[in-house]
Amino acid sequence: MRKVVLFIAMSLDGYIAKEDDNIDFLNQVERPGEDYGYAAFQHTVDTLIWGRRTYDKIQSMGLPEFMHKDKKCYVLSKTRTGQDENVEFYNGHPKDLIASLKQQTGKNIYCDGGGEIVAALLQERLIDQLIVSVIPHLLGSGIRLFRDGRPEQPITLTRSSTFPSGLVQLWYDCVPENQAK
């Protein structure tokens, strides 16, 4: 069965962006030839889920080409409908979208944020695996990766890697609700 996998970076103090959506702190770990496993991860997924603010941020970066043309991309939005040349906007409940996607054949489903989407998916226990890259930086405030109010959920560390840049990558499997003790 397909898994929903969160692959995301955060500051050491748990923020994915500043209040104004600025993510410049991520640049401090950029190294020539180092992608922290991102390219290999991309081969394991064929579907992407983003929040609208994350999609808008990517669009504002002025990249020459949409980076996920080879994937089916959904943007969860309360206000936008239909589709554009890159994504389909989804206005329904995330649980319904995930259930539908998991019934289809394919590779894993990649969630890349943002904070509202991660919170919504964790609230419903819809994330199967967390891959979190911790950036050696204290942002101080901003948009938290893990918001308060979600249900308690056991996770199991399956892998950890450290890199010369100071980035630490943590891989966790989420324990299904029916297997939690």
Contacts of residue 100, defined as CB under 8 A and 6 or more positions apart, other chains included, come to none
**Cβ 33 vs Cβ 133: under 8 Å:** no
Query: For position 110, what pLDDT does the model report?
Result: 97
Residue 77 to residue 37: CA distance in whole angstroms: 29
Query: For position 180, what pLDDT does the model report?
Result: 61
**Cβ 75 vs Cβ 50: under 8 Å:** yes
Query: For position 179, what pLDDT does the model report?
Result: 66
Amino acid at residue number 67: M
In the chain the domains, ranked by start, together with CATH numbers, are 39-105+118-124 (3.40.430.10)
pTM of the model: 0.92
Query: For position 3, what pLDDT does the model report?
Result: 97
The pLDDT averaged over each successive group of 10 residues in the chain (181 residues) is 96 96 95 96 96 88 87 94 93 95 97 90 95 98 94 96 98 82 59
Query: For position 58, what pLDDT does the model report?
Result: 86
CA terminus-to-terminus distance, the chain: 23
Helix H, strand E, coil C: the string for 96-138 is: HHHHHHHHCCCCEEEECCCHHHHHHHHHCCCCCEEEEEEECCC
